[in-house]
């Protein structure tokens, strides 16, 4: 079955004009690193590999940033999908706190890129807020606050007595500068522009249809019969990895987003933070530079038949209602509704590194809600690994860590 991973009216590819179209591959070429996938992950890899003077090529089967990247909420936050205490059975508190620190490092890296090359993607560093409106969950949030504050993260505890938001908060953790938001379509193109000026080669409409390994490296064949030879291949194909490996990575769901029309005086009611509630599955929200709110969540079991409109509409309607409940005094009108595959892992971390059985097959898979920040860490760690340096935290993202 040809599985469709993205469906609906995706805000970021609708509101943006085509920034640049890249050629498709029309000849055989050689490189060191073959990056498959021209989403935000592939672009991030291309940036870090090129920055480290490693000869690299990106091959994208369709158009740049039109896969999951076109629907990601791009709500960036250092914390993970689950609270530290929930994750404790899968990993250690030390690892969780280290992941938080790495999340902050990844946020800083994106900010540095923006500072150096200009803000063409509406990047905004903001506070992030995790909260519950349920008395029953107060203790859980208090625990999360305690763990983070004792570890020295800049957090503030919020409850009824100091709630700056217009919605009910029984307990919340406000993380100063712990989040960011941007336009993922424009961020991807910004990375590629900078990297291509430094030697990265990018080919759109160039599907990889065959991969062969030999002693020297790897040769891939593209849909129009051209060959790309490299030393390694990095799979940055988001949630579709089946063509490259039989390995199963994470649990797939379908997740949903709706985006409002622009709202007047949004800052008065919203306070410009990225928000996540403590529900299961959780809802999360951010704003856009043209004053919309995007809310996401209402995940359901993975739908290979993502075109099932009736099922999708139920989730979209729930998200719309949730937003109306949160902000009863504003006129909420939904303009965009879209959904797509999503994958999560037991310890909430993605997969970065070599296949345990094939040292020429590498992965950069940002599974979990922090996919974009994991991709940044992948860019840093994998470019170093290629140069022979094993990053001290790479083991956290090890491919095969759940193999029995």
CA pair distance 365, 352, nearest whole angstrom = 6
Please give the residue ranges that form the binding site for ligand FAD (CB under 6 A): 36-42, 59-62, 66-69, 71-76, 207-208, 236-238, 240, 243, 255, 257, 296, 340, 342, 366, 369-373
Q: CA nearest 222: which of 4, 24, 20, 364? A: 24
Q: How many residues does the chain have?
A: 404
Rounded to a whole number of angstroms, the minimum distance from the CB of residue 257 to ligand FAD is 5
Question: Among residues 69 and 348, whose Cβ is nearest to ligand FAD?
Answer: 69
- Contact between 389 and 52 under an 8 Å Cβ cutoff? The reply is no
Rounded to a whole number of angstroms, the minimum distance from the CB of residue 43 to ligand FAD is 7
Question: Among residues 57 and 158, whose Cβ is nearest to ligand FAD?
Answer: 57
Rounded to a whole number of angstroms, the minimum distance from the CB of residue 354 to ligand FAD is 18
Question: Among residues 36 and 330, whose Cβ is nearest to ligand FAD?
Answer: 36
Rounded to a whole number of angstroms, the minimum distance from the CB of residue 231 to ligand FAD is 19
Question: Among residues 149 and 346, whose Cβ is nearest to ligand FAD?
Answer: 346
Rounded to a whole number of angstroms, the minimum distance from the CB of residue 324 to ligand FAD is 20
CA pair distance 273, 348, nearest whole angstrom = 22
Question: Among residues 81 and 170, whose Cβ is nearest to ligand FAD?
Answer: 81
CA pair distance 336, 382, nearest whole angstrom = 36
Rounded to a whole number of angstroms, the minimum distance from the CB of residue 199 to ligand FAD is 20
Percentages helix, strand, coil for the chain (3-state, rounded to 5) are 30, 30, 40
Query: What is the separation, in whole angstroms, between the first and last Cα of the chain?
Result: 29
Question: Among residues 302 and 327, whose Cβ is nearest to ligand FAD?
Answer: 302
Which residue has its beta carbon closest to ligand FAD? 371
3-state secondary structure of 204: coil
CA pair distance 348, 367, nearest whole angstrom = 8
- Contact between 131 and 277 under an 8 Å Cβ cutoff? The reply is yes
Q: What DSSP state is assigned to residue 24? A: P
């Amino acid at each position: 079955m040809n599985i469709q991973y993205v469906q609906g009216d995706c805000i970021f590819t609708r509101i943006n004009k085509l920034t640049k179209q890249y050629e498709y591959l029309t000849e055989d070429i050689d490189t060191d690193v073959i990056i498959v996938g021209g989403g935000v992950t592939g672009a991030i890899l291309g940036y870090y590999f090129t920055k480290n003077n490693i000869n690299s090529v990106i091959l994208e089967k369709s158009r740049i940033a039109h896969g999951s990247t076109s629907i990601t909420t791009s709500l960036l936050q250092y914390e993970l999908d689950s609270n530290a205490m929930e994750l404790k059975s899968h990993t250690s508190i030390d690892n969780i706190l280290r992941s938080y620190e790495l999340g902050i490092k990844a946020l800083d890296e994106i900010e540095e890129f923006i500072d150096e090359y200009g803000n063409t993607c509406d990047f905004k560093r903001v506070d992030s807020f995790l909260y519950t409106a349920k008395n029953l969950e107060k203790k859980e949030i208090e625990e999360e606050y305690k763990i983070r504050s004792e570890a020295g993260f800049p957090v503030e505890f919020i409850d009824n007595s100091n709630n700056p938001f217009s919605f009910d908060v029984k307990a919340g953790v406000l993380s100063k500068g712990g989040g960011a938001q941007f336009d993922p379509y424009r961020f991807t193109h910004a990375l590629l522009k900078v990297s291509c000026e430094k030697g990265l080669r990018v080919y759109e409409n160039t599907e990889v249809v065959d991969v062969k390994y030999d002693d020297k490296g790897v040769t891939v064949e593209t849909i129009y019969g051209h060959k790309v030879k490299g030393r390694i291949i990095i799979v940055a194909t988001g949630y579709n990895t089946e063509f490259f490996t039989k390995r199963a990575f994470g649990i797939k769901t379908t997740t949903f987003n709706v985006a409002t029309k622009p709202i007047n005086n949004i800052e008065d009611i919203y306070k410009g933070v990225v928000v996540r509630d403590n529900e299961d599955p959780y809802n999360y929200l951010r704003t856009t530079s043209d004053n919309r709110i995007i809310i996401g969540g209402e995940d359901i079991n993975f739908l290979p038949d993502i075109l099932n409109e009736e099922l999708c509409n139920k989730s979209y309607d729930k998200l719309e209602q949730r937003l109306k409940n949160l902000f009863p005094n504003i006129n909420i009108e939904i303009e965009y509704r879209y959904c797509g595959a999503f994958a999560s892992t037991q310890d909430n971390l993605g997969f970065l590194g070599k296949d345990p059985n094939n040292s020429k097959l590498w992965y950069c898979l940002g599974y979990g809600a922090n996919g974009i920040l994991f991709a940044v860490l992948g860019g840093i760690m994998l470019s170093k690994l290629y140069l022979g340096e094993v990053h001290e935290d790479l083991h956290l993202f090890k491919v095969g860590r759940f193999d029995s």
